Structure 1
Amino acid sequence: MSISKFAVAGATGRLGRHVVDVLTERGHRVVPMSRATGVDIITGAGLADALTGVDVIIDVASWHASEQEAATEFFRTATGNLHEAGRRAGVDRIVAVSIIGADKATAGFVAAQQVHEEANLSGPLPARILRAAQFHEFVGQLLDWRHGDVAHIPALPTQLVACRTVAEALVDLAVDPDAAQPGPGEPIPEIAGPRRETMSEAAELLGARRGIKVVAVDGSGMPDAGIAAAGGFLPGPHAKLAGPTFREWLDTRS
Structure 2
Amino acid sequence: MRVVVAGATGRIGSRTVARLRDHGVEVVSVSRGQGVDVTTGEGLPQALRGADVVVDVTDTPSRTELASAQFFGTATGNLLQAAAGAGTKHYVVLSVVGAERAQAGYFRAKLLQEEQARRSPIPHSVVRATPFFESVDALSRSDVHADGVHVSPARTRPASLDDVAVTVAHVAVGIPLFGLLEVGGPEEFRLNELAATLLASRGDDRAVIADPYAPFFGAVLEERTLLPGGEARVGHGTLAQWLKRR
Q: TM-score when scaled to structure 1?
A: 0.88
Cα distance in 2, alignment partners of residues 70 and 134 from structure 1 = 20
Say if 2:179 is the partner of 1:161. no
Partner in structure 2 of residue 189 of structure 1:
181
Q: Which residue is equivalent to 1:53?
A: 50
| Counterpart in the other structure of 1:176 | 174
2:15 matched to 1:15?
no
Which residue identity is paired with 1:200? Answer: N
Q: Tell me by how many angstroms 1:147 deviates.
A: 4.6
Q: Within the alignment, does 1:141 sit opposite 2:134 as a pair?
A: no
Task: Report % sequence identity.
Answer: 35
Aligned partner of 1:56: which letter? Answer: V
What secondary structure does 2:213 align onto? coil
Residues 8-157 of structure 1: matches in 2 within 5 Å?
A: 8-147=5-144, 151-157=149-155
CA positional deviation for 1:18: 0.9
Once the two structures are TM-superposed, the CA of residue 189 in structure 1 deviates from its matched residue by 1.4
Match of 2:236 among 218, 223, 243: 243
CA distance in 1: counterparts of 2:145 and 2:224, whole angstroms: 30
Amino acid at match of 1:105: A
Indicate how the Cα distance of structure 1 residues 196 and 133 shifts in structure 2: closer, same or farther if over 3 A, else same: same
TM-score by length of 2: 0.91
Q: Quick one: distance in 1 between partners of 2:202 and 2:145?
A: 14
CA distance in 1 between partners of 2:143 and 2:101 (Å): 27
- SS of the aligned residue for 1:62 comes to coil
Deviation sequence 1:192-248 (CA, Å, 0-9, x none) = 1111101222222221221222413214142442xx333122111111111212222
The 3-state SS of whatever aligns with 1:173 is helix
Report the CA distance between 1:191 and its aligned residue.
0.5
Q: Is the 8 A contact 1:10 1:60 kept in 2?
A: yes
Supply the distance in 2 between the matched residues of 1:37 and 1:212 (Cα, whole angstroms). Answer: 40
Counterpart residue type for residue 201 of structure 2: R
For residues 81 and 27 of structure 1, what CA distance do their matches in structure 2 show?
28
**Which sections of structure 1, spanning at least 5 residues, go unmatched?**
183-187
Query: Which stretch of structure 1 is more off in the superposition, 146-155 or 72-81?
Result: 146-155
- What is the match of residue 208 of structure 1? 200
Deviation at 1:180, TM superposition (A): 2.8
Report the 3-state secondary structure (helix = DSSP H, G, I; strand = E; otherwise coil) of the residue aligned with 2:192. Answer: helix
User: Per-residue deviation at 1:130?
Assistant: 1.0
Q: Secondary structure at the match of 1:206?
A: helix
Paired with 1:252 and 1:210, the residues of 2 have a C-alpha distance of 13
Distance 1:243 1:221 in 2: 29
User: Which residue type is aligned with residue 195 of structure 2?
Assistant: A
Task: Kindly provide the amino acid, as one letter, of the partner of residue 244 in structure 1.
Answer: G
Amino acid at match of 1:68: E
**5+ long unaligned stretches in structure 2:** none
Shift of 1:146: 5.0
Deviation at 1:34, TM superposition (A): 1.2
Paired with 2:102 and 2:77, the residues of 1 have a C-alpha distance of 22
User: Which consecutive aligned stretches of 4+ in structure 1 deviate over 3 angstroms post-superposition?
Assistant: 146-152
Q: Matches of 2:191 and 2:225 in 1, distance apart?
A: 14
Task: Give CA-to-partner distance per residue, 1:88-118, whole Å, 9 cap, x none.
Answer: 1121111011111111123100111111000
Give, as a single letter, the amino acid of the residue that structure 1 aligns with 2:187.
R
Whichever residue aligns with residue 189 of structure 2, its letter is E
